[in-house]
Amino acid sequence: MSERVIPLVDQRHPSLPLPAAEHSHDLSSLSLDGLRRPLTDLRISVTDRCNFRCSYCMPKEVFDKDYAYLPHSQLLSFEEITRIASVFVGRGVRKIRLTGGEPLLRKNIEILIEQLAALRTPDGQPLDLTLTTNGSLLARKAQSLKDAGLQRVTVSLDGLDDAVFRQMNDVDFPVADVLAGIEAARAAGLGPIKVNMVVKRGTNEHEILPMARHFRGTGIVLRFIEYMDVGATNGWCMDEVLPSAEVIRLLQTELPLVQLDPSVPGETAERWGYANAQGEYDPTLGEVGVISSVTQAFCGDCNRARLSTEGRLYLCLFASQGYDLRQLLRDPTQSDTTLAATVDAIWRGRTDQYSRLRSLRGPDTTSGPGRRVEMSYIGG
């Protein structure tokens, strides 16, 4: 087992210089990056705070009571988020995911959801508007989120065993309250619901089959995520990664599966459907997914950008620096056309493919100018 090292570092990094906005460029055409990938998915972090201290994301050793979070004045306002989201929608974004930290900690988030739900694509279609949450506040907020215009939720849940779950969230939060939140989301019509389980070898792999049994046939899609080398504070080591291929083999010892086609371009999860007695996919039993972010790169069709809570644009989950769009948003001389041209120039210059390169040369998470930003800062 490799030694676990957690460097005490600030999760925020200096910004990259903004490229010149090319107003002569045709903004009516789809934005494609340097590897010909379109921009269709924007993930917006609305807060850098969370009420959990999961060791793989916000370990207590770093995010303790003295940790300095961003002051409210530095966060993008709901109006600023909506304005920049509208610009991204004009450049091809069709899906917006609200994330954090824990997004339900952002006060009056329903107001932001109402504003985003009113946006329309250039051809008049509503956005796919979703939110990722740890589920701790979902039972009390599910209906108001639905009423505001949210379409669906993804809930992080790393096990059904209460002792294991309390150990992983590290704040002694009971699993029953998260399950109640999932049921409230289902009752409110926030679906289809997805449940994400981060699998750490030696910690919760024995929860894989119980989780699958629990959600099979419920209409909820369970996805198993390889423990990732995100940021520099989670003490990541390869010894704790359980490859997705092993997860599938374990599931098939009890629950026969049939591999399914991707449902949308750029999908990160490999889909597997539960099979009936004839060995055929049975939609009534549902499906599971595996996200092989360590063992199988999916950079080739990555169509996602991430906006941090104070307005920095990151082009990869494993990026070390972002572009400060807040300076443009708060400059009264900058028009939406300039914002759109800047976003277009940033995306067209993108060549990020960290996971593919890591598979060739191995990860480096702890030092140097390439030290990566924390997942809790830009969202998963």
The tens digit of pLDDT for each residue in 146-172 reads 999 999 999 999 999 999 999 989 999
**Mean pLDDT taken over the chain:** 88
Cα separation, 98 vs 309, whole angstroms: 10
pLDDT at 251 exceeding the cut of 70:
yes
Residue 239's pLDDT is what?
Answer: 80
pTM above 0.85, yes or no: yes
**pLDDT band at 364, cuts 50/70/90?**
low
CATH 3.20.20.70 fits 41-378, yes or no: yes
3-state helix, strand, coil in the chain (%, to 5): 30, 15, 55
Per-residue b or e along 235-256, where b marks 16 or more CB atoms closer than 10 Å to that residue's CB: bbbeebbbbbebbbebbeeebb
Cα separation, 206 vs 44, whole angstroms: 33
Residue 369's pLDDT is what?
Answer: 41
Distance of CA 24 to the CA centre of its chain: 34
Element (H, E) at 103: none
Residue 297's pLDDT is what?
Answer: 65
The tens digit of pLDDT for each residue in 283-325 reads 999 999 999 877 776 688 889 999 999 999 999 888 888 999 9
| DSSP codes joined into one string, 178-223 | HHHHHHHHHHHT--S-EEEEEEBTTTTGGGHHHHHHHHTTTTPEEE
Give the count of alpha carbons within 13 A of 341, CB side only. 13
**pLDDT band at 359, cuts 50/70/90?**
low
Burial class (CB within 10 angstroms; exposed 0-12, middle 13-18, buried 19+) of 14: exposed
**Mean pLDDT, residues 228-240 taken together:** 65
The tens digit of pLDDT for each residue in 166-224 reads 998 999 999 999 999 999 999 999 999 999 999 999 889 999 999 999 999 999 999 99
More confident residue, 236 or 367: 236
